[in-house]
Amino acid sequence: MPFTTIKVIEGVFSDQQKADLIHKVTEAMVEVEGEAMRDLTWVTIEEVKQGDWAIGGRIPMPKPKL
């Protein structure tokens, strides 16, 4: 059974955008693996809190909201 995890920054994607990601990743897996895998394909989205990740050893700071 395919199991895909997508990590995103918390609060960046709306519920609809996350649903779209799940749908599109599922469709991509079915395209590769075949229709029989649709009901066995898991897609999860994990939200990572701001400050709990880094790029190049630096923790990006959020821009202040105006």
DSSP 7-58: EEETTTS-HHHHHHHHHHHHHHHHHHH-GGGGGG-EEEEEEE-TTS--BTTB
Tally Cβ neighbours within 10 Å of residue 60. 12
The pLDDT tens digits of the residues spanning 36-51 come to 999 999 999 999 998 8
Q: pLDDT value at position 1?
A: 85
Which residues face 6 on adjacent strands? 45
Q: Identify residue 50 by its one-letter amino acid code.
A: Q
Query: Of the ranges 3-7, 30-34, 56-60, which one carries the lowest mean pLDDT score?
Result: 56-60
Q: pLDDT value at position 50?
A: 87
Q: pLDDT value at position 52?
A: 92
- Taken as a whole, the chain contains a residue count of 66
Tokens in use for 37? 């895998």
Mean of pLDDT values over 21-42: 96
pLDDT at 28 over 80: yes
